[in-house]
Structure 1
Amino acid sequence: MAKREVLHVKGSNHQNPIPTAVEIGNMVYTSAIIGSDPETGEIPESVFEEVANLFHYLREIVELAGGTTDDIAHLSVSVTDREYKKVVNVEWLEMFLNENDRPARHTSVKNLREGLRVQIEMIAVL
């Protein structure tokens, strides 16, 4: 049976006792990742910076597990305003250039913790 390994990522800590990400066997799962600044832990004023930070964390987490962004299989994106999907798409297209080689993704509009506009959950297969 595979052991669960908690992946610790600087700047992406949860308020609750929940790890940011775990690796079990060849699978990586995240909790809800927020776009806090990797150095300060604060949410940026700009939604563009918030989303850029989210994609920074996606890359960092999958690389920490020994993979690459090519191993990301699915993203669940939550936004507080449907317009933020356009901002997510900018980073999405930069990370996943090949339209025939992108992860599955679902975006939904939700109420998020105060101050957040976007959050992401990831599943990767290494």
Structure 2
Amino acid sequence: MSRRKTFEIPGVDHGAAPIPMAAQVGAFFHSSGIPPTDPATGSIPEDGQRQVELVFGNAAALLNVAGLGPADIVYLDVYLADNTLRPAVNKYWLEWFPDEHDRPARHVTVRPLPNGMLIQLQVQAVAE
């Protein structure tokens, strides 16, 4: 039996790619790329602000199915196709981590993203 646990979000996936949304071994949790897919429709909206809202919602849902939450995050990778979305990212960042002395590490990379995505997240967390 594998020590690895995998996690999915209903309505959000990687299409035909044979990878889980996240995996955990012991206390270490790591997501794959979390897309801004609307779980209700299975599609990615064109609006960047809506994509930011959805990607943070999907990250929260993924953490939740693993029994984790934002307080367990140690590192967040943010990929942006449009750097003008950074203020929207910071809005959610500050909602999730209001205490400036209790925030995880974060890195933002600006680069083209596939399938109409303007944002994608990757989360690393530690379960206690």
Query: TM > 0.5 between the two?
Result: yes
1:58-97 matches, cutoff 5 A? 58-97=59-98
Percent pairwise identity? 36
Confirm or deny that 1:124 pairs with 2:125.
yes
Q: CA deviation at 1:61?
A: 1.5
* Runs of 4+ more than 2 Å apart: none
Q: Distance in 1 between matches of 2:56 and 2:115?
A: 20
1:1-126 matches, cutoff 5 A? 3-15=3-15, 16-126=17-127
Q: CA deviation at 1:45?
A: 2.6
**TM-score under structure 2 normalisation?**
0.91
Q: Distance in 1 between matches of 2:8 and 2:116?
A: 23
- Give 5+ residue unaligned stretches, structure 2: none
- 8 Å CA contact retained: 1:62, 1:72: no
Q: CA deviation at 1:42?
A: 0.8
Deviation string for 1:58-104 (max 9, x for gaps)?
Answer: 21122211122100110111111221112211111111111111111
Q: What's the Cα RMSD here? A: 1.5
Q: CA deviation at 1:24?
A: 1.1
**TM-score under structure 1 normalisation?**
0.92
- Give 3-state SS (helix, strand or coil) of 1:28's partner: strand
- Give 5+ residue unaligned stretches, structure 1: none
